[in-house]
Amino acid sequence: MLIVDVLLERGAFRRRVHLRESARVLAMTGYSGAGKTSVLNAIAGLLRPTHGRIEINGRVLFDGDARIDVPAHSRHIGYVFQEPRLFPHLSVRRNLCYGKRRAHADAPAQFDFDQVVQLLGIAPLLRRRPFHLSGGEAQRVAIGRALLSQPRLLLLDEPFSALDRARRDELITYLQRLRDATTLPMLYVSHSLDEVRRLTNSVHTFD
């Protein structure tokens, strides 16, 4: 169960968000500037709400009244951004291992290295540097790095936005495989109704 009941303010931006959802794979859609990324950032601990409450499966991450604000590094949340944000000086293998180092000692080991590599089809890429990856390959590595941090929730912020249609269809296939092969909850932001239809169980639309 994901509960988000917060007021988000940043400069001239102000948005009240009410979200209560039990679907394992949830999409957020809506017009640009509606606050979808701000919601992800608030859940991840990168943006502090003005007030309200964020709770995931009974664990309170933020409660303004109770003065609870769990630090981002302790929230056990994986985040895949619009751009892969891989370390350019590290090989794919070492980028993935960075995700393993970020895993908390008390986090259950849902994913191991070989499982993630096979699931995302990135074994042929392990020795490459990010400079030698296509956009779709780089995003698969970014997803793998997030999974190896052993998250309790995976956030995906328009991970296909910079890709052409062919690369998009390729990556959707891997995310469908991830969805079907694991029990990991996912929150997915997209403007594409086709992506939402193919990947998610429920949709929250920002008007």
The domains of the chain are located at 2-206
Q: Does domain 2-206 have CATH number 1.10.357.10?
A: no
- The overall average pLDDT reported for the chain is 91
Give the CA-trace dihedral at 122, 26, 163, 114, to 10 degrees. Answer: 0
What is the 8-class DSSP label of residue 51? Answer: E
Of 110 and 67, which is predicted with more confidence? Answer: 67
Q: How confident is the model at residue 104 (pLDDT cuts 50, 70, 90)?
A: low
pLDDT at 108: 65
Provide mean pLDDT across the span 56-78: 95
Q: Which of 46-50, 104-108, 136-140 has the highest mean pLDDT?
A: 46-50
b/e code 164-175 from CB counts within 10 Å (16+ = b) = eeebbebbbebb
SS3 123: helix
Q: How confident is the model at residue 162 (pLDDT cuts 50, 70, 90)?
A: confident
pLDDT at 167: 82
Provide mean pLDDT across the span 51-69: 96
